Amino acid sequence: MRAAWKIFCLSAAVLAAAIVIAQLLVPDIVPIAFAEEPQPSWAVMTAFVLRAIELMTAAVAVIALAMLVGMCARRGLRRLSGGTATQAD
């Protein structure tokens, strides 16, 4: 269970860092090539990479959080049913 918390916290930290970096480096850039006004290609590529990092780390955080909730629910159901909880940490 500690590993799941570590993965969740690490992915949340990377997600926050990517959002902050995107706001600092390319605040008004759309991460696609088709915009209303011309955008520098380096800014579009940077915004695209940062958005990809944001989406991947958000997905990892959601999966880790779902696993944590599932593990806690499993423990709770075992305690309610009278069984003993295993030490799968």
pLDDT of residue 87: 60
Q: Which pLDDT score, from 0 to 100, does residue 50 have?
A: 94
Is the pLDDT at 6 greater than 90? The verdict is: yes
Q: Considering the chain, what is the average pLDDT of its residues?
A: 87
Report the share of the chain in percent with pLDDT over 70.
88
* Per-residue CA distances from 12 to 15, 19, 25, 47, 53 (Å): 5, 11, 20, 19, 11
